[in-house]
Amino acid sequence: MPARRPEGDLPDHGTASAADGASASPEYASRELMAEHEEIRIRHEGTLYRLRRTSSGKLILTK
């Protein structure tokens, strides 16, 4: 099992490096997506989703 990368230690643009293997999925730190916002909206195939951070630091994705 590959070692987990610290949240702030990501390759540029959230893409996997060659060392991670060709089939590795991109990885993004939540703080890069959320910035200072408590909630962001993500549109996927015409449907709008809300990704929000709770007061305890967890993430919740809802339609």
Q: Residue 39: left if φ>0, alpha if ψ -120 to 50, beta else—which one?
A: beta
Banded pLDDT at 13 (limits 50, 70, 90):
low
- For residue 39, the cross-strand partners are 52
Domain range for 51: 12-62
Residue 52 corresponds to which amino acid? R
Using only C-alpha atoms, what is the Rg of the chain?
Answer: 14
Question: Is position 20 within any domain?
Answer: yes
Within-domain flag for 24: yes
Count of structural domains, the chain: 1
Residue 4 belongs to some domain of the structure:
no
Is 38 inside a domain boundary? yes
Q: What is the CATH number of the domain that holds 58?
A: 2.10.70.10
- 26 within domain boundaries: yes
Model-level pTM?
0.59
pLDDT in tens, 16-44: 455 556 678 999 999 999 999 999 999 99
Percent of the chain with pLDDT over 70: 65
Structural domain includes residue 6: no
